[in-house]
A and B are shown apart, each in its own frame.
Chain A
């Protein structure tokens, strides 16, 4: 298969960027999207040119390193699929494909398709955990967790922090990301004691990082490679409201 790629190139955060055209030729339909970019990069290297920079690591949709806006859609056309799991058989032979980085004020571009997502770490540092020191845990089965709560918690915990939700949102909101972490921990009995404080601190940090607010469009859910539901945003808002109305000791 052959493709015409329009790829965002930007040498550094402060430098201007632009779309550059590349040709990908003789690509097997079994090639993944990132492997197709590898092949394009090998061609650039052979000509002594700098390859297209992008983050990627596990290449099986779990580490959350990769992700581009492909043809205007975060992670491309497939539902519940990270960019690294997307295969070229999904595209038409000869198709023109645009490839851009996540665009959000809180995710500044570092180079080409690589963006800075450390804001996500700072949001977790603000409260996305259960305060338990090593060694102080009770016997595991002394905490009973109803099966359905554990399942709902796991659904939210599956977030890979790729940032697609932010990239897809017209407000560049991180609500799905924050909501997923709040839900993961709040749904478990272990996470209940800090639940109000957690929602409050994480959301405050998200605001401070420059993420926008949520206007319930649901774009985030639509592009999430782990199909995390926006119900998690509702749960987070509930925790947040409780914290702002009743204080964090509630």
Chain B
């Protein structure tokens, strides 16, 4: 299959037309530093008195959603914010541990907006859009200011100034942190800003609601259909714009570091209504997770990348060495990251660290009962800095490890192994963060825009907040001010048909009464995805996955068991609907991985590697974002390419040696 099959180019239509389309990223003219400023000046504004006439629907309440809802509410828009949790503060952003990057250069160690831009582009293996990444780096400094003003208790020096630390893929200290709970503290800042608007009446909060469909009328996103998870009622909400802030799709692998309820449903259903889905195969495997121990496991737990600041990664030099780590003398240990990448050492980017862990385990040098783990050893750091320092920096992470593994990481090296953590792919958006459905904006992890093929540590929080606080409030205003929006009534046909589609699906799930549990099918899908579309991919494996997924999907729709009814809290039903969508989405992920016959970032194709076993990009053929158009269930999607041009950061073979 040719990688460029089904490619179409035409003028960008205002509506997602079936068949063919051309993607216009709407990147402003001018030099990189001036693009965002000039766009802000070109954009149309909505006068303060007119803002309350516009209803904006924000789906999701994590960093991107809470920040956008709060910022738009502050400006006076009529905002409705939806979350499937009982409280917006439970969104999965809360679990981010390590930190948030910003080009403040407080450490005087050579940082700048340009440097953060360059590190992010290079870290993403030259598969992201330059203009977006530059804007992200610019806004990073405003985020820290905003969060401090909200009362986010970032770590401080003794003089009272903010402290920073280093993170993977960077040779300086630009990562701000609040112990190992940075995501929690940033989310609480955004949540509190959101609740302040709820009190002021600018934001209405709808909790325990799951978005099941996007309503498109006259080619524009004009509403959503939600299921009230407590009553089962399908509710209709109309508005002038929809902001999708629903996170990533890592749980397609069943086991991941994502929270259990994180899912692809809202994004996938927008995709089916015309929003192109870009780069689904760009998934991030995080190198430092607690290894899988048995079938009972429901999720994997991440140990923050910040641990690699002081922990040294090693395996025995000898294959099948069964000795306990203490019995293995230093000269019989292979500190393989320090050996292979002397300048970055243990702080190479995530994709590189993960692949190397897999390589040494495949060589038979893995440790622990399963042989699928490597050591992360703090004995040197404890010797050098004292146990107290290590406890101050990582106390909560060490505790978490001890609880899960039953071992004391101060005494015995941690055992870690890579796991699915983050997804760089997502709905395609232009520079304005608008999808191919006009009026549908996509923010945070749910979009594809800033991290290319690999995200650097401490950059997800940065992007969620940049999108929510500082990008969407401008671009949404421009859209509202420049678009003619006819009045819309939730009783309109577009709503009714979306409701009946959702209703039919729920009834179908409840009526099958088969023998397989949702979890069984999800686990089977996840294992297959991990084996065939996981850390290392090849053509034969991907074809096998593409062949097997439809069979599993058919089995799901004929043999699934969902007890209970649809008119009250039914968690099995919620879960079944999500897994139903994963079973469709998984196929697109595998197809994208098959078409991208190069290695880049987190997408490693065995057919494309350097003699040293590093990911080998193929810029001549694959320097594009792959945006997929949905053509109906069971039909192959169409690939639409957005070519990537690098004016400033010239693609080179990444080297961290």
Q: A46-B517, A134-B74, A137-B145 are in contact. Are A63 and B193 (CB under 8 A)?
A: no
A59–B299 contact, CB under 8 A?
yes
Chain A residues lying within 8 Å of B217, measured Cβ to Cβ, are none
Q: How far is the CA of A82 from the CA of B42 in the complex (A)?
A: 51
B32 close to A (CB within 8 Å): no
A35–B296 contact, CB under 8 A?
yes
Chain A residues lying within 8 Å of B569, measured Cβ to Cβ, are 53, 110-111, 114
Q: How far is the CA of A157 from the CA of B184 in the complex (A)?
A: 9
Chain B residues lying within 8 Å of A185, measured Cβ to Cβ, are 151
In the complex, what residue of chain A is closest to B561 when comparing beta carbons? A45
B89 close to A (CB within 8 Å): yes
Q: How far is the CA of A82 from the CA of B439 in the complex (A)?
A: 41
Name the residue among A42, A125, A136, A153 with the largest chain B CB count within 10 angstroms: A125
The interface bits of chain B over 220-246 (1 if a CB of A lies within 8 angstroms of the residue's CB, else 0) are 000000000010000000000000000
Q: How far is the CA of A143 from the CA of B144 in the complex (A)?
A: 12
B384 close to A (CB within 8 Å): no
List 26 interface pairs A-B (beta carbons < 8 Å), by A numbering.
A12-B568, A28-B296, A51-B571, A53-B569, A57-B259, A57-B260, A57-B261, A58-B95, A58-B259, A59-B301, A60-B95, A65-B86, A116-B86, A121-B89, A129-B150, A129-B192, A130-B150, A132-B193, A145-B156, A147-B157, A150-B154, A154-B178, A188-B153, A190-B149, A190-B151, A191-B151
B residues with CB within 8 A of A? 67, 70-71, 74, 85-90, 92, 94-95, 104, 106, 142, 144-151, 153-162, 178-179, 181, 184-185, 188, 191-193, 195-196, 198-199, 205, 207, 230, 259-261, 293-294, 296-299, 301-302, 399-400, 403-404, 406, 469-470, 473, 513, 515, 517, 519-520, 561, 563-564, 568-569, 571-572
Q: How far is the CA of A213 from the CA of B403 in the complex (A)?
A: 34
Name the residue among A42, A61, A132 with the largest chain B CB count within 10 angstroms: A132
Q: How far is the CA of A190 from the CA of B261 in the complex (A)?
A: 35
Q: A53-B571, A60-B400 are in contact. Are A144 and B70 (CB under 8 A)?
A: no
Chain A residues lying within 8 Å of B261, measured Cβ to Cβ, are 57
Question: Which one of B153, B184, B207, B470 contacts A62 once the chains associate, using CB atoms below 8 Å?
Answer: B184
Instruction: Supply 7 further A-B pairs (C-beta < 8 A) apart from A48-B561, A116-B86.
Output: A28-B296, A30-B294, A58-B94, A59-B259, A87-B404, A134-B67, A140-B148
A81 close to B (CB within 8 Å): yes
Q: A150-B156, A157-B153 are in contact. Are A42 and B519 (CB under 8 A)?
A: yes
Q: How far is the CA of A118 from the CA of B86 in the complex (A)?
A: 7
A128–B192 contact, CB under 8 A?
yes
The interface bits of chain A over 96-138 (1 if a CB of B lies within 8 angstroms of the residue's CB, else 0) are 0000000000000011001011101100111111111111111
B571–A125 contact, CB under 8 A?
no
A31 close to B (CB within 8 Å): yes
B564–A58 contact, CB under 8 A?
no
Q: A51-B571, A114-B569, A147-B160 are in contact. Are A128 and B74 (CB under 8 A)?
A: no
A129–B561 contact, CB under 8 A?
no
Question: Which one of A49, A89, A160 contacts B406 once the chains associate, using CB atoms below 8 Å?
Answer: A89
B193–A134 contact, CB under 8 A?
yes
A146 close to B (CB within 8 Å): yes
Chain B residues lying within 8 Å of A190, measured Cβ to Cβ, are 148-151
Q: How far is the CA of A153 from the CA of B156 in the complex (A)?
A: 12
Q: How far is the CA of A45 from the CA of B522 in the complex (A)?
A: 15
The interface bits of chain A over 139-172 (1 if a CB of B lies within 8 angstroms of the residue's CB, else 0) are 1110111110010011001101100000000000
Task: Identify which of residues 66-93 in chain A touch chain B, using a CB-to-CB cut-off of 8 Å.
Answer: 80-81, 85, 87, 89
A217 close to B (CB within 8 Å): no
A229 close to B (CB within 8 Å): no
By the criterion of a CB under 8 Å from any partner CB, how many residues of chain A are at the interface? 79
A9 close to B (CB within 8 Å): no
Chain A residues lying within 8 Å of B94, measured Cβ to Cβ, are 58, 62-63
Q: For the complex formed, measure the closest distance between the CB of B524 and the CB atoms of chain A, giving whole angstroms.
A: 14
Q: How far is the CA of A63 from the CA of B258 in the complex (A)?
A: 12
B153–A137 contact, CB under 8 A?
no
Q: A57-B259, A62-B181 are in contact. Are A144 and B161 (CB under 8 A)?
A: yes
B571–A81 contact, CB under 8 A?
no
A30–B195 contact, CB under 8 A?
no
Q: How far is the CA of A34 from the CA of B404 in the complex (A)?
A: 13
B568–A42 contact, CB under 8 A?
no
Q: How far is the CA of A175 from the CA of B402 in the complex (A)?
A: 31
Q: For the complex formed, measure the closest distance between the CB of A134 and the CB atoms of chain B, giving whole angstroms.
A: 4
A111–B149 contact, CB under 8 A?
no
B406–A56 contact, CB under 8 A?
no
Q: For the complex formed, measure the closest distance between the CB of B237 and the CB atoms of chain A, giving whole angstroms.
A: 19
Q: For the complex formed, measure the closest distance between the CB of B392 and the CB atoms of chain A, giving whole angstroms.
A: 9
Q: How far is the CA of A161 from the CA of B89 in the complex (A)?
A: 9
Question: Which one of B71, B185, B230, B473 contacts A157 once the chains associate, using CB atoms below 8 Å?
Answer: B185
Q: How far is the CA of A159 from the CA of B425 in the complex (A)?
A: 32
Chain B residues lying within 8 Å of A237, measured Cβ to Cβ, are none
Question: Which one of A35, A140, A157 contacts B188 once the chains associate, using CB atoms below 8 Å?
Answer: A157
Question: Which one of A12, A32, A127, A140 contacts B162 once the chains associate, using CB atoms below 8 Å?
Answer: A140
Question: Which one of A134, A136, A144, A161 contacts B87 once the chains associate, using CB atoms below 8 Å?
Answer: A161
Q: How far is the CA of A121 from the CA of B71 in the complex (A)?
A: 19
Q: For the complex formed, measure the closest distance between the CB of B35 and the CB atoms of chain A, giving whole angstroms.
A: 19
In the complex, what residue of chain A is closest to B468 when comparing beta carbons? A134
Q: A45-B561, A129-B192, A147-B158 are in contact. Are A137 and B146 (CB under 8 A)?
A: yes
A64 close to B (CB within 8 Å): yes
Q: How far is the CA of A27 from the CA of B296 in the complex (A)?
A: 9
A234 close to B (CB within 8 Å): no
B205–A124 contact, CB under 8 A?
no
A95 close to B (CB within 8 Å): no
Chain B residues lying within 8 Å of A25, measured Cβ to Cβ, are none
A132–B149 contact, CB under 8 A?
yes
The interface bits of chain A over 193-220 (1 if a CB of B lies within 8 angstroms of the residue's CB, else 0) are 0000000000000000000000000000
Chain A residues lying within 8 Å of B85, measured Cβ to Cβ, are 57, 63, 65
Q: For the complex formed, measure the closest distance between the CB of A136 and the CB atoms of chain B, giving whole angstroms.
A: 7
Q: For the complex formed, measure the closest distance between the CB of A199 and the CB atoms of chain B, giving whole angstroms.
A: 15
B195–A121 contact, CB under 8 A?
yes
In the complex, what residue of chain B is closest to A55 when comparing beta carbons? B86
Q: How far is the CA of A55 from the CA of B85 in the complex (A)?
A: 9
Q: For the complex formed, measure the closest distance between the CB of A208 and the CB atoms of chain B, giving whole angstroms.
A: 14
The 5 closest A-B pairs by CB, nearest first: A144-B160, A137-B149, A129-B192, A137-B145, A154-B153
Chain B residues lying within 8 Å of A89, measured Cβ to Cβ, are 406
In the complex, what residue of chain B is closest to A126 when comparing beta carbons? B199
Q: How far is the CA of A61 from the CA of B520 in the complex (A)?
A: 25
Q: How far is the CA of A11 from the CA of B90 in the complex (A)?
A: 24
Q: How far is the CA of A62 from the CA of B302 in the complex (A)?
A: 12
Q: How far is the CA of A129 from the CA of B192 in the complex (A)?
A: 5
Q: For the complex formed, measure the closest distance between the CB of A82 and the CB atoms of chain B, giving whole angstroms.
A: 10
Q: A57-B259, A121-B88, A130-B192 are in contact. Are A63 and B144 (CB under 8 A)?
A: no
B86–A143 contact, CB under 8 A?
no
